[in-house]
Amino acid sequence: MASIASPTLQNEVKGERKSAKRVDIKSAYHTSHPQHPLKSRRGQVPDYADKKCLLCEKGFRQFHLCDVCNYSICSACMRNPPPLNIQCLKTHEHQLHLFSRLIDFTCNACGTQGSRSPYLCPPCNFIIHRECIDLPRVISINRHDHRISYTPHLGHRKLKCRVCRKEVDGFYGAYTCSKCPSFAAHARCATRRDVWDMVEREGTPEEEEIAPYE
């Protein structure tokens, strides 16, 4: 005859199943960190954990954490993970690979500092911010009469940015003007929302351009 579990034992089993179900819901693996599952948390971030998302650098209230590796990301990056590999030939000739960890670096594309999760091309020693991978090639800005083009490096010329008036490091990417040899602008300065009209003009003949952005 089949044995019948006591009500107490049945409740304990049900409780264990509910607990297991809750754990399953609150933890999941992520493509950027396949070693361990990330546990969903809300509220105060533990003292030992980073207070910003490792992937996008934004602060968070709800986050996903690997206690083993001290790896924390926001809910947005958990739902929509960045690609592990990117092929963008207009930016770099080789495939770029996500390096998801805290690391201080200087972006080859814009010349500014970064602190986490860049994309790399190890053979070329090339490193870039995620947001700089698809910088516009040709743009119009409200600080210059002609359209300007992105160049991966200026060389040894000493030029000042026409937006912020600070020196442009010629070993990193910047914008220049084919008609004005003395013009240069930092990549980050030229693509500010209050400077650029957010229109990519690559492939548009210059004679068909609309008036410069004001």
Mean pLDDT of the chain: 86
At 17-60, the pLDDT tens digits run 443 333 333 789 999 999 999 999 888 888 888 889 999 999 98
Rounded to an integer, the average pLDDT of 172-194 is 96
pLDDT of residue 170: 93
Which helix (H) or strand (E) element contains residue 37? strand 33-42
Residue bearing tokens 């080789």: 94
CA atoms within 13 A on the CB side of 74: 15
Cα 204 to Cα 137: distance, rounded to the nearest angstrom: 11
Please determine, for residue 8, whether its predicted confidence score (pLDDT) is greater than 60. no
Q: Where are the domains of the chain?
A: 7-79, 85-130, 135-214
pTM above 0.85, yes or no: no
Rounded to an integer, the average pLDDT of 167-186 is 96
What share of the chain has pLDDT > 70, as a percent?
85
pLDDT of residue 171: 94
Name the region of 111 (left: φ>0; alpha: ψ -120 to 50; beta: rest).
left
The torsion of the CA quartet 193, 76, 111, 171, rounded to 10 degrees, works out to -110
Rounded to an integer, the average pLDDT of 137-155 is 95
Q: How buried is residue 168: exposed, middle or buried, by Cβ count under 10 Å (0-12/13-18/19+)?
A: buried
What share of the chain has pLDDT > 90, as a percent?
71
At 76-128, the pLDDT tens digits run 999 999 999 999 999 999 999 999 999 999 999 999 999 999 999 999 999 99
Q: Band of the pLDDT at 209, cuts 50, 70, 90? A: low
Please determine, for residue 15, whether its predicted confidence score (pLDDT) is greater than 50. no
Please determine, for residue 141, whether its predicted confidence score (pLDDT) is greater than 80. yes
